[in-house]
Structure 1
Amino acid sequence: MATEAPYRHLEELATRLSRAGLCTRLEEPLGKAPRLHVLNPDLPVAEEHVIIEAHSDQDWFWWAWAERIAPAGEMDRAVSGIRRVLGAAA
């Protein structure tokens, strides 16, 4: 199983994104780090994976294409950035 802190961050992010109207699914591919699949139900082609990795003494959310989203401690910033990229209405 994944280490607990990153997994908990992804669970919290999934909860917040779901409350914000996005569909989420936490995935744990065999032998790989956990990731969060996020889908905009109003625009089903808008879907991405979010991963979490440590960087400079803190955990960060990243897009699967290796672009940072926000530090794990800044959930509001992460939710806002993900909603923007997936075209979710404000």
Structure 2
Amino acid sequence: MPEPVTPAMAAQAVAHLTNLQELLHDLGLHARLLTPDERLPCLRVINPQATTLSEIISAAPTDGQWLFWWSWPEPINDVTDPATAAKRICHVLAATRRAPHNHGQRATTPLARTPDAARPAPKEARQLNPPGRQYRGVGPT
């Protein structure tokens, strides 16, 4: 069972998270300090360019050493280096751009999509429409 959160622990976590918050703002991310009752404070970090990309970051001691933590139980790094933590968080929350689709140009990569006409029908469709059978004015399939 985790140890209870003391006011001193909460104050120390706020100090570490505030340093990180400033660096995240400088990198263009929105970070808001949350202070839930009876729990360690945390940062809610959001990429304003893609608001679905968000993360909860906490600062907590482990074996006497304070670390920044992801929302899953994995450390980011030591609180003595908030710049590295900010860069890692920024990397994880970065929105990636997709290459524009070239309409009208045939893909030449080996993973190119097979045209629908050349694709075999799904198994269910083959069972419902056996070859050689006519359906209401439609020729053989």
In the alignment, which residue of structure 2 is the partner of 1:79? Answer: 86
Q: Which runs of 5+ in 2 are unaligned?
A: 1-6, 97-141
Number of equivalent positions: 89
**Identity across the alignment (%):** 30
AA at the equivalent of 2:69: W
TM-score calculated relative to the size of structure 2:
0.59
In the alignment, which residue of structure 2 is the partner of 1:66? Answer: 73
Deviation at 1:4, TM superposition (A): 2.1
Deviations 1:33-64 (A, max 9, x none): 10000000011110010011112332100011
Aligned mate of 1:42, from 40, 45, 49:
49
AA at the equivalent of 2:17: L
Q: Which runs of 5+ in 1 are unaligned?
A: none
Tell me, yes or no, if the aligned pair for 2:13 and 2:40 is still in contact at 8 Å. Answer: no
Instruction: State how far apart, in whole Å, the 2-side matches of 1:88 and 1:4 are.
Output: 33
- Residue 80 to residue 88, structure 1, CA distance change in 2 (3 Å): farther
Larger radius of gyration: 2
SS in 2 for 1:43: coil
Instruction: State how far apart, in whole Å, the 1-side matches of 2:95 and 2:76 are.
Output: 16
Structure that is richer in strand per residue = 1
Instruction: State how far apart, in whole Å, the 1-side matches of 2:48 and 2:72 are.
Output: 21
TM-score calculated relative to the size of structure 1:
0.90
Instruction: State how far apart, in whole Å, the 1-side matches of 2:95 and 2:27 are.
Output: 9
Q: CA RMSD in A?
A: 1.6
AA at the equivalent of 1:68: P
